[in-house]
Amino acid sequence: MKALINGVPFTFTEKLTVLEAVRKLGFFVPTLCAYPTLESTPGSCGLCIVKIKYPDGREVLSTSCKTGLEDGMEIRTDSPEVRQAQRKQLALLFADHDMNCMGCDRHGKCELLDLAEKLDLKKGIAPGSYKVAKEEDYSDRAIWLDPNKCIRCERCVEVCGKVQGLYVLTMKGSGRERAAALREGKPWALSDNCVRCGQCTVVCPTGALQARDQVDVANDYLTDPGIYTVFQFAPAVRATLGEEFGFPAGVNVERKIVEALKKAGADCVLDTNFSADVVIMEEGTELLNRLNDKNAVLPMFTSCCPAWINFVELHKPELIPHISTTRSPQAVMGSLIKSWLPEKKGIPKEKIRSISIMPCTAKKDEAARQALAKDAVPDVDLVLTVREFAKLLKGKGIDLRKLEGQDFDTPFMSKGSGAAVIFGKTAGVAEAAARTVYYVLTGKNVNSIQFKTSEHPHVEQELTIDLGEGKSPLRIGVVHGLANADYIADEVLSGKSPFDFIEVMSCPGGCINGGGTPREAGDYHPFNLERTKVLTTIDEEHSLRQSHNNPMVKELYKEYLGEPNSHLAHELLHTEYQD
Ligand code: HC1
Ligand code: SF4
């Protein structure tokens, strides 16, 4: 079959929409709702208008996402008539849109405004002229919703349902009232279903869904001379922050982050990689203890992803005994910042504010957990997402591109191994743990362990470690995306899981694609391979590949904690979950 697209012959055999065909030839058609990586085409934005001439001579202006390509069609994507129709439709979207751009989270990176520029929309129905004031929801400690900015593309609904399996979001109302909303109909802070992974904020093309903005709080801390600011930043931050400053995906900006923080006025900069190594010592010991105890609950799940922990507490509380009690690296570092650091540096605890920079919206929620506070004072006072951190730096005129970069200047809790940095990508925690467990069981240090692609439909990778004659092998599984984790949780609860240890990361591909990472217009990259590669390369080029060989971790245990899983380690580095 053949069609003619802008005069270019197009031969096809498969079933395609006009939009798909046009895009295969590389022609531009504006869309906001069609989202190929989520296999979603609700047809709600109405922007993808083209002119179609049918073989019988009929000529129509039509949206292209729902129109099937037919033999003999002639399609034009660009003509004065087509452009005018697209502009009119775009003007309609602006007509009931809240145009408070300066207060908008998407300021400067708005996909709606971007299309206005591309379509050269200068006049039309006045923006905001048909606006219905809808109630904003800024109640939550992680996710904020402003329905006045919603353009009904339904991307948030799709990612929440298809990738996370949660179906927490829906579209409510009709006509101009229609907007994304929580299905439960409660303020977000009271939601018993949302796990705060923030994937909805990554796909939202406008400022309707965003991470709670706490840049001002960070600035208050940084400018208060009575406060000693201690920063930590997550493995994935060094692989993603550069994108906010115009670097292509895949550039390691670790040393630039340290310099930027120093320029911003940080008193002390630490590395979450250090506490990831500590987590391996604690979680690895916990796993070995469970394996050696006939009555212990197995398999054991990792605990570092707070959206996964929220999922278990809210949706599968029966699974709690299977979750490692070890706190996440963010929380471990937070606890040490408020305990070991004051002792070591002679700084009063009350003067310290601990601020973490994370690729994650759920980490904001984690930091506010009561179980992670001492005397009602949180161990982590503030969490900024990568996007917020970029905003903070830009507000201070600090441009990452202009920085040379510098080493961590604190010879304390600032060194992490290669095993720690891969925490930021799927299978990283499992591999880091495997390197250390392998060492404990065999006495051999290994620089890497090859996981294989799993045949299990909901497990991404797996590994079997042979522990020698007479011993059962250790079986490790790796799961990402909560829709997958839900299946695995049920498998474990029904006693049918083949694994002893399971890593779960809620975000597809792990934290490098977290809800607080830079957003790309127009598409969703559940596997951003460039970001993944950064972490793999740092690990491969690292002189220290195993958590248990980290000299700063050894110092922590020698000087302060004693042994992994010691009484003090339990008090400071482990936690309890609520059902
Ligand atoms: Fe993650 Fe983790 S890997 S959870 O994604 O265990 O956020 O990067 O910091 O805490 O280390 C996030 C990343 C991060 C923790 C670590
Ligand atoms: Fe946060 Fe990482 Fe979990 Fe995503 S996978 S919710 S970024 S911890």
Residue 384 three-state SS: strand
Q: Residue 3 has what pLDDT? A: 98
Residue 10 has pLDDT above 80, yes or no: yes
Q: Determine the distance separating the centroid of ligand 2 and the alpha carbon of 196, expressed in angstroms.
A: 9
Q: Is the CB of 362 under 6 A from ligand 2?
A: yes
Q: Residue 108 has what pLDDT? A: 87
| CA nearest ligand 2 atom 3, residue | 305
Q: Which residue has the tokens 């208008």?
A: 49
Q: Give the pLDDT band of residue 529 (cuts 50, 70, 90).
A: confident
Q: Please give the structure tokens belonging to residue 355.
A: 């601020």
Q: Please give the structure tokens belonging to residue 109.
A: 């990176």
- How far is it, in rounded angstroms, from Cα 501 to Cα 392? 39
Q: Identify the nearest ligand to the CA of 198 by its number.
A: 2
Q: Please give the structure tokens belonging to residue 319.
A: 């699974």
Q: Determine the distance separating the centroid of ligand 2 and the alpha carbon of 514, expressed in angstroms.
A: 5
Residue 516 has pLDDT above 90, yes or no: yes
Higher pLDDT, 138 or 37: 138
Q: Residue 182 has what pLDDT? A: 98
Please state whether the peptide bond connecting residue 299 to the residue before it is cis, i.e. omega within 30 degrees of 0. yes
Q: Determine the distance separating the centroid of ligand 1 and the alpha carbon of 449, expressed in angstroms.
A: 20
Q: Please give the structure tokens belonging to residue 170.
A: 């829906």
DSSP element (H, E) containing 269: strand 268-271
Ligand 2, residue 363: give the atom nearest the CA. 1
Q: Determine the distance separating the centroid of ligand 2 and the alpha carbon of 506, expressed in angstroms.
A: 6
Q: Please give the structure tokens belonging to residue 203.
A: 């796909």
Higher pLDDT, 195 or 122: 195
Residue 327 sits at φ, ψ, to 5 deg, of -70, 165
Q: Identify the nearest ligand to the CA of 421 by its number.
A: 1
State the burial class of residue 138 (Cβ atoms within 10 Å of its Cβ: 0-12, 13-18, 19+).
middle
Q: Which of left, alpha, beta for 365 (phi over 0: left; psi -120 to 50: alpha)?
A: alpha
Q: Determine the distance separating the centroid of ligand 2 and the alpha carbon of 516, expressed in angstroms.
A: 9
Q: Residue 373 has what pLDDT? A: 96
Q: What is the pLDDT of residues 143-156, one digit of tens each?
A: 999 999 999 999 99
Q: What is the pLDDT of residues 455-499, one digit of tens each?
A: 999 999 999 998 778 888 999 999 999 999 999 999 999 999 999
- How far is it, in rounded angstroms, from Cα 338 to Cα 329? 14
Range of lowest pLDDT (125-134, 345-354, 528-537):
125-134
Q: Residue 524 has what pLDDT? A: 62
Q: Residue 7 has what pLDDT? A: 97
Residue 522 has pLDDT above 60, yes or no: no
Q: Which of left, alpha, beta for 329 (phi over 0: left; psi -120 to 50: alpha)?
A: alpha
Q: What is the pLDDT of residues 272-326, one digit of tens each?
A: 999 999 999 999 999 999 999 999 999 999 999 999 999 999 999 999 999 999 9
| CA nearest ligand 1 atom 14, residue | 234
Nearest to 331 by CA among 285, 369, 388: 369
- How far is it, in rounded angstroms, from Cα 552 to Cα 410? 11
Residue 571 three-state SS: helix
Q: Give the pLDDT band of residue 412 (cuts 50, 70, 90).
A: very high
Q: Give the pLDDT band of residue 442 (cuts 50, 70, 90).
A: confident
- How far is it, in rounded angstroms, from Cα 573 to Cα 380? 13
8 Å CB contact between 6 and 73: no
Give the strand pairing for 268-271 and 228-233: parallel
Residue 329 has pLDDT above 70, yes or no: yes
Q: Identify the nearest ligand to the CA of 538 by its number.
A: 1
ipTM greater than 0.95: no
Task: Kindly state the DSSP code that residue 224 receives in the 8-state scheme.
Answer: -
Q: Is the CB of 424 under 6 A from ligand 1?
A: yes
Taking the CA atoms of 281, 509, 159 and 233 in sequence, report the sign of the dihedral they define.
positive
Q: Is the CB of 416 under 6 A from ligand 1?
A: no
Ligand 2, residue 197: give the atom nearest the CA. 6
Q: Is the CB of 509 under 6 A from ligand 1?
A: no
Q: Which residue has the tokens 């490790």?
A: 476
Q: Residue 467 has what pLDDT? A: 79
Q: Residue 469 has what pLDDT? A: 80
8 Å CB contact between 137 and 144: yes
Task: Kindly state the DSSP code that residue 230 receives in the 8-state scheme.
Answer: E
Q: Is the CB of 534 under 6 A from ligand 1?
A: no
Q: Identify the nearest ligand to the CA of 535 by its number.
A: 1
How far, in whole angstroms, is CA 27 from its chain's centroid?
31
Q: Give the pLDDT band of residue 346 (cuts 50, 70, 90).
A: very high
Q: What is the pLDDT of residues 373-389, one digit of tens each?
A: 999 999 999 999 999 99
Residue 548 sits at φ, ψ, to 5 deg, of -70, -15
Q: What is the pLDDT of residues 57-79, one digit of tens each?
A: 999 999 999 999 999 999 999 99
Q: Is the CB of 197 under 6 A from ligand 2?
A: yes
Q: Is the CB of 538 under 6 A from ligand 1?
A: no
Q: Is the CB of 276 under 6 A from ligand 2?
A: no
Nearest to 83 by CA among 29, 24, 152, 6: 29
Q: Determine the distance separating the centroid of ligand 2 and the alpha carbon of 78, expressed in angstroms.
A: 42
Q: What is the pLDDT of residues 244-258, one digit of tens each?
A: 999 999 999 999 999
Ligand 2, residue 304: give the atom nearest the CA. 8
